[in-house]
Amino acid sequence: MKTSEKVLQLLLKKQAFLSGQELADELNVSRTAVWKAIQSLQEEGYQIESKPRIGYRYIEGLKLSEASIRRFLNPELDLNFEIYDTIDSTNNRCSQKAMDPEKKTPLVVISDSQKAGHGRYGRPFASPVGGGIYISILLDNDDPDFNPGLLTTATAIAVTRTIEKLVHARCEIKWVNDVLVDGKKIVGILTEGVADLETQLIKHVIVGTGINYLTDPSKFPEEIRQRAGSLRRYTLDSGVSRNTFIANYLNEFFSLYQNYKAASFMDEYRAHSNTIGKDVTINRSGQTSEGHVATIDNQGRLVLSSGETLASGEVTKIISTD
């Protein structure tokens, strides 16, 4: 570990001023080495307050950082991280890593922006710099009955719980994977499976989540401004940093993932649904149909009052309330 990383760890642990001498003694390095480490951390974007004759103090800032995330992470979780300022897509990075025999899983890939963020049906997912959370989790899978729909549903609950607990915004979920606040989409989830070519079994699972956390809505492309929203107003009020949010989301995600097939979160999902009891238009592989949503079952499937059950598709329009 570099001296700068060790200095950061000590400052994060202390959450108060530590003098240059204390840091130097603790790490067995010179005060000049500590000073250089502080300079390099500040250049990387960490906010470190420096007071003459008192020392240094870490201030939780905007920079995404593994060390800050780890402070709030459940210590029982053994996760590996990659954090980028920019990347094509965090899901793509996980697909690449899935092929790497040396990889360590679970791997969490996070980026401050994406150049080719994408969602379902290959649609682009706007991922502007400075404020969004673009995060993908790469998992090994040995379950032949892996259920991507239900895992997406569990992920929607993990994000919803984290938003409601930390940011105090009331969430609604539009089947299957959109989380809305004040009627606008603020979270998208894309779950992908990576199959083994020979066995055709899903060997890896990628759960990608995009959250418009502190994103300035004026940075969204014109064509999605009507539908896309941001948690910015709520996150500024709550003062919860992206790092803290990410750690709490990961804690929720992994606690649900352990046993997601038991679907114990489905009552919570139904309680947040904006789709149950409505007349909707549904798009499936380019085919549009209409129906009345009776419920969402414990497999995460849409159940229409006609008796039809849909495991996939997209609700494109919510027409009326009961």
Residues 120, 261, 270, 292: which binds ligand BTN (CB under 6 A)?
Answer: 120
Residues in contact with ligand BTN, shown as a per-residue x/- string from 163 to 202 under the rule CB under 6 A: -------------------------xxx------------
162-183 b/e (C-beta count within 10 Å ≥ 16 → b): bbeebbebebbbbbbbbbbbee
Residues in contact with ligand BTN, shown as a per-residue x/- string from 60 to 79 under the rule CB under 6 A: --------------------
- How many residues bind ligand BTN, per CB under 6 A? 18
Is 113 annotated to bind ligand? Answer: no
Residues in contact with ligand BTN, shown as a per-residue x/- string from 97 to 116 under the rule CB under 6 A: -----------------x--
Whether the link from the prior residue into 106 is cis, omega within 30° of 0, is yes
Binding of residue 90 to ligand BTN (CB under 6 A) = yes
- Calpha distance 203→205 (Å, rounded): 7
For ligand BTN, give the closer residue by CB, 208 or 291: 208
296's CB contacts (< 8 A; 6+ apart) are 175, 266, 269, 270, 273, 275, 276, 302, 303
Contact 59/16 with Cβ under 8 angstroms? no
Residues 3, 91, 153, 273: which binds ligand BTN (CB under 6 A)?
Answer: 91
**Near ligand BTN in 122-151, by CB under 6 A:** 123, 125, 134, 136
Rounded alpha-carbon distances, angstroms, from residue 80 to 13, 112, 266? 20, 17, 29
Q: Is the dihedral of CA 247, 165, 136, 182 positive or negative?
A: negative
Residues 89, 153, 160, 275: which binds ligand BTN (CB under 6 A)?
Answer: 89
Binding-site residue set:
89-91, 114, 185
By CB under 6 A, name the binding residues for ligand BTN. 89-91, 114, 117-120, 123, 125, 134, 136, 188-190, 208-210
Binding-site residue set for biotin:
89-91, 114, 185
